[in-house]
Structure 1
């Protein structure tokens, strides 16, 4: 069980990484934009700066700064201008690496607690768009879209999400016009070797099938195939539940694979398995390299593909509960800092509520419905205590208090409910907006 002791070890690893950065100039150089940065003792030194950004400033910056120094027990504060100058010295890469430290720390300290499906980690892969404020610098870097009335600045984000362990194992933010297929194919090597990657129908291309299969260590995949594909139509006509076929590449696939360094021509073939999944209102076809002789039976794939929905839920958490689109700066670097810091904080939140959720899952009381931790309130409580966790020498006591709080106010899990997907209108001003069922905690 992921108890408080394991959470304490993970927090300790995160704190130690900051300490190592401060004592190793070569490592620090990776995260600062000049060798002269973070060499003087300032109010906002390296350690305080990264914690302030991780705390996710969503209110007026002057108020956030006063509150931050108050939590540190300092009577002094710093100006908004000083904060902006300090953060311009910090590379967003720090938060990307810090998140990797967190994920690796979890795997190291809780190997028996890592949830798996038939021995595999389930990684749902998907992308999303982020609305940004329309400024010249953000427009020039990220781009967006426009019509006869206005223009919108947006960024493309991409995630590898471990659906069973509630962790974003990899993320990136890129210009809006970057294709999700391009990002997916570029980051296949980031998928753990012991994982199954799950994709929706947008990713059902010969190139994606091939890149997973042709890695030095094959990556397993489950991809919902488009109904319009010829081999899908042909398979459905057979009436079979499962069939192994050989696919030939299109000219676009040949070109794309050559760009990725794979010699391919019209004689190249790839072997995949198609599985029919019957749902209440539709029939889905799954393309995969999970073979029946390896123990992957036909009736497993409906539930397996459904687990992909976890990445959609996590993106909603990032955008709504954690207000990812409410950025604390208007520069490219500040947007990237906030993005990667939000992903890291989402993972830290998932780990800290884990023990409470395990206890709720094991609760045999007579409550009508199973219970889950209130994600919104628990994240708000984590933000309140973040500075104390990292700066005060009583982490164990604070984590136990947090776990007790998470157990106190829970939400019921009503299984079997479904709701039609409601398409929201575009956010014309490109500023953060939470939907009616979300209020920031």
Structure 2
């Protein structure tokens, strides 16, 4: 594996601020696409212009909303608006405007770093604790428990230290695989990318979606001795290896499937989800590469991938997958340094609509 263009580029705060201003200006030219009523919202001249409001929201920190307003507008030449005015104006914005700003901002940078020509993206999730509201039923689940949380799924650039996308779900964590499938299908990140993910994303359905969308991937899976994973029933050596397998997924139980010579077939019950099987398509061939390497004297790591063996050898995967751990640090920075743990409203509908978005570009190296 060659190491082309892997040097991290650093940007000054002034450069980022100027570029962000330009992106916000271009985004609010189509403000009607991002507000509740495109005909009347943000059409009249007010103290809180769309740009002022957006920059204020992006700069929110750990203080109360009155304190944030006082601090932000005291240092500007704009009259200090009331808390009510800020609350009413922010209710007019849809969260998609922040995602649009993020995409435009990152797309405007033409010298982002890559590894061997690929962006190394990591998918993971993290729980966000919310203020407890006794009458709030939108974030509760289970018969005996109420969980005041959301689960944030993000796609993180491990080399350039930015977030390319996100999705917010309830805290059961059952939607992590679907969140990544959703991000892959919408493809709001660089085409030449490799997505990495931990064992919680081990899924035939996810692998199939990656292959169907020409998406490169590296997913960590349960090791060869597992009883309920992708490697179950495969005859694999207890040593390091690099092999390619083809498994045929099916939702029918023919005699051939039941006999299952050479462990070719994987039966998909009706309780499981596989999007490429239906009443017309009963069989689906899925080919992928399995690499296993030693990380300690008596411990191995096992990955599944669709990377070409001529481009990435077995020994390359240890360093490739190691890059994924940068996302763990990014979540800590996002929560504690950027301030995503702090909220400035009491309605959970507002959390999910506007203020749970990660402040993507603030994690860029400066």
The bucket for the TM-score relative to the shorter chain is 0.7 to 0.9
Equivalent residue, structure 2, for 1:415: none
* Cα contact 1:122–1:197 (8 A) shared by 2: yes
Matched, 1:350 2:364: yes
Equivalent residue, structure 2, for 1:164: 159
Unmatched runs of 5 consecutive residues or more in structure 2: 1-7, 250-266
Going from structure 1 to structure 2, the CA distance change for 1:230 and 1:145 (only over 3 Å counts) comes to closer
Q: TM-score, normalised by structure 2?
A: 0.81
Matched, 1:33 2:32: no
Matched, 1:176 2:165: no
Equivalent residue, structure 1, for 2:256: none
**Partner secondary structure for residue 317 of structure 2:** helix
Equivalent residue, structure 2, for 1:122: 120
CA distance in 1, matches of 2:363, 2:151: 24
Greater per-residue helix proportion: 1
Going from structure 1 to structure 2, the CA distance change for 1:334 and 1:155 (only over 3 Å counts) comes to closer
CA distance in 1, matches of 2:323, 2:235: 24
Matched, 1:16 2:22: yes
Which one of 130, 138, 143 corresponds to residue 141 of structure 1? 138
* Cα contact 2:35–2:41 (8 A) shared by 1: yes
**Partner secondary structure for residue 302 of structure 1:** helix
How far residue 45 of structure 1 moved from its aligned partner, in angstroms, is 2.2
How far residue 63 of structure 1 moved from its aligned partner, in angstroms, is 1.8
Q: After TM superposition, where is structure 1 displaced by more than 4 Å over at least 4 residues in a row?
A: 1-7, 144-147, 252-255, 259-264
**Partner secondary structure for residue 165 of structure 1:** coil
Equivalent residue, structure 1, for 2:261: none
* Cα contact 1:204–1:225 (8 A) shared by 2: yes
* Cα contact 2:168–2:352 (8 A) shared by 1: no
Going from structure 1 to structure 2, the CA distance change for 1:233 and 1:311 (only over 3 Å counts) comes to farther
Matches within 5 A, 1:86-101: 86-101=89-104
* Cα contact 1:329–1:335 (8 A) shared by 2: no
Which one of 204, 207, 212 corresponds to residue 206 of structure 1? 204
* Cα contact 1:57–1:328 (8 A) shared by 2: no
Which segment is superposed worse, 294-303 or 256-265? Answer: 256-265
Going from structure 1 to structure 2, the CA distance change for 1:19 and 1:121 (only over 3 Å counts) comes to closer
**Partner secondary structure for residue 364 of structure 2:** helix
Q: Deviations over 1:115-136 (max 9, x none)?
A: 2222111011111221111226
**Partner secondary structure for residue 187 of structure 1:** helix
Q: Deviations over 1:96-115 (max 9, x none)?
A: 11111111112x3x2xxx22
Equivalent residue, structure 1, for 2:47: 43
Question: How well do the aligned residues superpose, as a CA RMSD in angstroms?
Answer: 2.8
Equivalent residue, structure 1, for 2:130: 132
Matches within 5 A, 1:334-345: 334-340=351-357, 342-344=358-360
* Cα contact 1:122–1:196 (8 A) shared by 2: yes
Count matched residues.
332
* Cα contact 1:258–1:264 (8 A) shared by 2: no
* Cα contact 2:154–2:165 (8 A) shared by 1: yes
CA distance in 2, matches of 1:260, 1:86: 47
Going from structure 1 to structure 2, the CA distance change for 1:336 and 1:310 (only over 3 Å counts) comes to farther
* Cα contact 1:132–1:154 (8 A) shared by 2: yes
Q: TM-score, normalised by structure 1?
A: 0.68
How far residue 348 of structure 1 moved from its aligned partner, in angstroms, is 3.4
